[in-house]
Structure 1
Amino acid sequence: MNWDELIGHKDVVKILQAMLASGKVPHALLFIGAAGIGKSLVARLLAAGLLCGNSSAKPCGHCQACLMYSHGAHPDFTLVCPDGASIKIDQIRALKQFAALAPSVSSGRVCIIEDAEFMTVQAANSLLKLLEEPPPGFVFILVAGTAQPLLPTILSRCRKIQFQPLPPTILAEALVSKGYAAESAVVAAKLSGGRMGKALGLLAPDGLAARDMAAGMIEGLSGQDTVNIWNMASQLDGLETKEILTVLGFLLYLFRDMVLLAGKHNEQLLYNIDLAPKLVAHTAKWPEGQSLAALGAVKDTIRAISGNANSRLALEALLIHLKDLAGKGD
């Protein structure tokens, strides 16, 4: 495990490597960024560097500490993840017991807390006491999608490091270097929002199933059979809320691309380049005005369902509206 494994985030890596080289690492760091952006990998690399026994390049990957860490057997490292939907106070109590022990292999100890924003209030208050009086040589690395749910007192005791999405071109190049086809890599890079983890998920078998379902919806709405509306609403309503929102998110991207195509704007900005010919054909029924209106309607439905609206009614209303817009385009 070394820093060369990481794609992008050069500014963050530079800061962390400088901390390691100087030996001046804050006792608590908070990594913030979207899921799949790479912050967990950076946290693991930093933990390996903190535990590494080499005097220069950290982590070196071949000292006793690095080998133990890479095999998940380093006694001076612990990982805290949500137990179910949240991180509970019993997990922080166990962390306190771990923190009270002296290092046995490395010069210090490290704890990574994944999805830290999902700590219960009791767990967060218990962790705060640890952060206020950290054990000597102990480093906490909190990893979170957003800082908003965390206690202000916890935030004030952490050095915050923000992770930004990777530029699509850099991400696509990295995916091609991993053996993926160029067109597929570009599509995944754009649809992932610059997140390596998300892009790899999209490139997995059936990774684009939700996108293809959204594309099928546009195909069905462009036809004459109104029964499709009820069939599509029923199919979508059978999904979990998170899955419904994922499909609608892809529908948003598709209508965005149709706006670009119908208005003859810069096609270099397309996300779904692999579906471009089909989307061009749909613009006969979905010219620029209708595609823009559809874009707004999908956004409104995403907000409604995210706000706990009745998903079946919201989906039916959306599909009826989209069908009406398609008819106007024709």
Structure 2
Amino acid sequence: MVMHWDAVIGHQDAVQVLKAMLVSGAIPHALLFTGPSGIGKGLTARIMAAGILCNAGGIKPCGHCSSCVLYGREAHPDFTLVAPEGATIKIDQIRALQHFASLAPAVSPGRLCLIEDAEFMTVQAANSLLKLLEEPPAGFVFILVAGTAKPLLPTILSRCRNLKFYPLPAALLEQALVHQGYSLEAAAVAARLSGGRMGKALTLLAPDGLAQRDMAAGLFASLESRDMMAVWEQTAKLDSLETKAIITVLEYFLYLLRDVLLVAGGHNARLLYNIDLRPQLDGWAAAWPEGRCVAAMTVVKNTIRAIGSNANTRLALEELLIKLKDLPEKGENHVDSSWGPL
């Protein structure tokens, strides 16, 4: 795969800094890219790696030199990738990296290691990497990619140049998705629900990508039914999911509550996340005025915290749905959440 800077959507401040490094040749021996998953920092790191290894003059990576060709084929002898094996990056992986770092360059002026999900290094692996960072081999560059810098050792952070990546504006992400061939409506929904993350947006645009959001909408609809069986059916569907998926559905439910709150308040439709569900939102807004929405948000957030803290999932979900059903439509009183696991 040919690497070009124009593949990066947004993040222009970081890209300009990296390009300037390549032009000047003043490249730190260790770079750290941090930001939410799916935001584009991994792609940027791979392009930067190609640029550092590139043998051509001018704009790097050129995409045509022997180094770029080998890198595109994932066969570059001066490049190695370290990523979690299972849940963590282990010390044996860093020991193998130490051996790789001791070798002389074969094709490029130097050698490079890209460490993905660096925050998942074990303590032993992190301490082993620190020794390499303290005395880096000549011409060797490390690029660390992490969701957050907090789990990394302060001594590792002090030896890295940190570039932070932030969520993209919804309008920019929507435009990029349309440019890739997606419909305007689909791109608009994905851009808003993804939180400004291209990777997440593409996942949402895949077949069944909105299945969990649609499950949240089904849950919302069941609350309007007088038949409690509909509520229990929704509970059973949610309880059949893994914990992470349950939390995701409940987070989408919060987005729906937010949108209903905006519709009920007569706010600009451009602020909505779930713009493809506008007819449903209009219908729900009549029964979910501000007070009820705010109270429901509190109950849902409490449930997310409880499930994340290993509460009994089925009981937490049943209690959640009962409380949501019992919320007064005018929202005069906040529901009592002092009982049970919430």
TM-score by length of 1: 0.97
Match of 1:58 in 2: 60
Match of 2:294 in 1: 292
Q: How far apart, in 2, do the equivalents of 1:220 and 1:37 lie?
A: 34
Q: Which letter does structure 1 place at the counterpart of 2:122?
A: T
- Local SS of the residue matching 2:112: strand
Contact 1:286 1:326 in 2 (8 A): no
- Local SS of the residue matching 1:140: strand
Match of 1:24 in 2: 26
- Local SS of the residue matching 1:146: coil
Can you list the C-alpha shifts for 1:9-36, whole angstroms capped at 9, x where unaligned? Answer: 0000000001111111111111000000
TM-score by length of 2: 0.94
Distance of aligned partners of 1:51 and 1:324 in 2 relative to their CA distance in 1, 3 Å threshold? same
Match of 2:336 in 1: none
Match of 2:87 in 1: 85
Match of 1:254 in 2: 256
How far residue 306 of structure 1 moved from its aligned partner, in angstroms, is 1.8
Q: How far apart, in 2, do the equivalents of 1:233 and 1:82 lie?
A: 35
Match of 1:115 in 2: 117
Match of 1:228 in 2: 230
Can you list the C-alpha shifts for 1:189-248, whole angstroms capped at 9, x where unaligned? Answer: 010000000000000000000000000000111100112232222221111111111111
Q: How far apart, in 2, do the equivalents of 1:79 and 1:139 lie?
A: 12
Match of 1:188 in 2: 190
Contact 1:285 1:326 in 2 (8 A): no
- Local SS of the residue matching 1:79: strand
Q: How far apart, in 1, do the equivalents of 2:192 and 2:127 lie?
A: 39
Equivalent residues in 2 for 1:8-157, closer than 5 Å: 8-157=10-159
Q: Percent identity?
A: 66
Can you list the C-alpha shifts for 1:67-117, whole angstroms capped at 9, x where unaligned? Answer: 000010100000011000110111111111101101000001111100001
Match of 1:302 in 2: 304
Q: How far apart, in 2, do the equivalents of 1:214 and 1:103 lie?
A: 53
- Local SS of the residue matching 2:327: helix
How far residue 266 of structure 1 moved from its aligned partner, in angstroms, is 2.2
Q: Which letter does structure 2 place at the counterpart of 1:274?
A: D
Q: How far apart, in 1, do the equivalents of 2:279 and 2:294 lie?
A: 19
Contact 1:192 1:199 in 2 (8 A): yes
Contact 2:55 2:66 in 1 (8 A): yes
Q: Which letter does structure 2 place at the counterpart of 1:229?
A: V
Contact 2:303 2:320 in 1 (8 A): yes
Can you list the C-alpha shifts for 1:15-60, whole angstroms capped at 9, x where unaligned? Answer: 0001111111111111000000000000000000000001111000
Alignment pair present for 1:207 and 2:190: no
How far residue 284 of structure 1 moved from its aligned partner, in angstroms, is 2.2
How far residue 309 of structure 1 moved from its aligned partner, in angstroms, is 2.1
Match of 2:320 in 1: 318
Bigger drift between 276-285 and 306-315 goes to 306-315
Q: How far apart, in 1, do the equivalents of 2:267 and 2:295 lie?
A: 17
Match of 2:265 in 1: 263
- Local SS of the residue matching 2:195: coil
Q: Which letter does structure 1 place at the counterpart of 2:257?
A: F
Contact 1:286 1:325 in 2 (8 A): no
Match of 2:200 in 1: 198
- Local SS of the residue matching 2:88: coil
How far residue 282 of structure 1 moved from its aligned partner, in angstroms, is 1.2
Give the unaligned 5+ runs of structure 1: none
- Local SS of the residue matching 2:181: coil
Q: How far apart, in 1, do the equivalents of 2:117 and 2:181 lie?
A: 30
Contact 2:291 2:330 in 1 (8 A): no
Q: How far apart, in 1, do the equivalents of 2:310 and 2:330 lie?
A: 31
| Residues paired across the two proteins, number | 329
How far residue 318 of structure 1 moved from its aligned partner, in angstroms, is 1.1
Match of 2:337 in 1: none
Q: Which letter does structure 1 place at the counterpart of 2:292?
A: Q
Q: How far apart, in 2, do the equivalents of 1:151 and 1:294 lie?
A: 40
- Local SS of the residue matching 1:69: helix
How far residue 326 of structure 1 moved from its aligned partner, in angstroms, is 6.6
Q: How far apart, in 2, do the equivalents of 1:307 and 1:11 lie?
A: 38
How far residue 327 of structure 1 moved from its aligned partner, in angstroms, is 6.0
Match of 2:275 in 1: 273
What is the root-mean-square deviation of aligned Cα atoms in Å? Answer: 1.1
